[in-house]
Structure 1
């Protein structure tokens, strides 16, 4: 029998659900450790940027419905509220929160200034926790035992302080790995339905060029929103533009795409996929 002790969470605590297989595995283990029902001061939240894949939205909804757990769907809003609570049907699907943030900032995020993950994920979750009357809390995130550097970084952040929360990583404590996650989902009758390289954010600018090419080829038109944001000469990454990548992709008749080995099933913002694994 699996050791569920690391998954017994003491509140107040926020379980950050990215919408990926790893964080869903973590949520299931936490539920089992608490007999199927979370304590009143332990809540689950999913922050939607409007650029999550439809598969991700369906998966989040299905996890909540099948497992009988309330998942709070949050979206960024301008000050002072910082967030709105939505649901599966009302969740943005055309990048509206992300686009609104870009308009407010007057510039695009980039690999060195990833304000998108901070503003669209971290801040709405923080504002939501404050709305519950919490001053301090645990932020429970889905980092596995085999994601060593990410775990070390979060432990260092805990030691440094400066936040209203401390990160809890029950999967790392329980020594659960990617193999455990995939074995779990192979036994379920529903799944996320995405390849690991696809990730929850459809064309995140941190993805390798080969990965972007593969996704654009598989889903023509997915690049349109990103191209529109790069109008007037703006770019998410200086060395490339989405228009250039899309044009080259559609001009190529056949190519073997080189996909990056990085897995993007991580909590964007709290654990940005661009950080070293």
Structure 2
């Protein structure tokens, strides 16, 4: 049976580290790297993809060249995606992946998909295809590689982190609804034009009867008010202080390894977007 090996790159830390790890530990595999582009990624994501391609020595295939977020927003009557209706994950991540591999699977090829779920993420599971000849592998979990291990892999490779990790904890759409309040506040600071675009999408959705706003319980217009922004930043700092106090037992722990999943709880995320 013919074999293919594929690895999805999200533009984030873990999937990039897995690409590096597989190149170093299984150089004999001809791995196809792919990125499902929503058309609404942070500019830092594209810059990091370029750096990663340089290290891997081969291109990362871009899926979704034609049907981006704007196309599917129209298809869904201008209703925003949300944790309750994650049409963005379905239409912009999962379906393009399935369409790409469908001919090979139909021809009976064995597809090996490598997913960057770490050993410290017991609560996460990989994509389940239902196809006998599509096998999902979790190399980090098998090798016992956790978040600190991922950081070590990227540093040793000379890649470091995508620049957005200065202010945001995960990849995905610029205006992903899974962002924390503090990340929306920082998006306003880092990319005000993208924040304004998100506001326009939100207003248009509300005008069309969408029950959802990007951030739970308030619109971006409400969130960007100076008093509200100050409150969000104060609340975030209080959470950080509590986390630092709990971490004092480990003198080796540092703020550099703290991300918002740790501060706010990992919750339920789109595994195809954020790895």
Query: Normalised by the shorter chain, which TM-score bucket?
Result: 0.7 to 0.9
Indicate conservation of the 8 Å contact 1:76/1:124, yes or no: no
> Matches of residues 86-101 of structure 1 in structure 2 within 5 Å?
97-101=68-72
| Residues 188 and 69 (structure 1), Cα distance of their counterparts in 2 relative to 1, 3 Å cut | same
Aligned to 1:137: 111
Distance between the aligned counterparts of 1:241 and 1:59, measured in 2? Answer: 31
Q: Quick one: structure 1 residues 163 and 228, their matched pair in 2 at CA, closer, same or farther if it must change by over 3 Å? A: farther
Displacement of 1:154: 3.4
Q: How does 1:1-277 map to 2 (within 5 A)?
A: 11-35=3-27, 38-39=29-30, 42-75=31-64, 77-78=66-67, 97-106=68-77, 107-131=79-103, 133-135=104-106, 137-150=111-124, 153-154=125-126, 157=128, 161=130, 165-191=134-160, 192-195=162-165, 197-200=168-171, 201-232=173-204, 233=206, 234=210, 235-237=212-214, 239-248=217-226, 252=230, 255-256=233-234, 258=236, 261-262=260-261, 269-271=270-272
Q: Which runs of 5+ in 1 are unaligned?
A: 1-9, 79-96
- Segments of 5+ residues of structure 2 without an aligned counterpart are 240-258
C-alpha contact 1:139 1:168 (8 A) present in aligned 2: yes
The 1:257–1:100 alpha-carbon spacing in structure 2 relative to 1, beyond 3 Å, is farther
The RMSD of aligned alpha carbons is 3.2
Deviation at 1:46, TM superposition (A): 0.7
TM-score (normalised: structure 2): 0.73
- CA gap of 1:76–1:119, structure 2 versus 1, over 3 A, is farther
* Structure 1 residue 250 displacement after superposition: 8.4
User: Considering only CA atoms, is the larger Rg found in Structure 1 or Structure 2?
Assistant: 2
Distance in 2, matches of 1:38 and 1:199, equals: 28
- Aligned length in residues: 236
Question: Higher helix proportion, which one?
Answer: 2
Q: Which stretch of the first structure deviates more once superposed, 242-251 or 105-114?
A: 242-251
CA change 1:108–1:251 in 2 (3 A) is closer
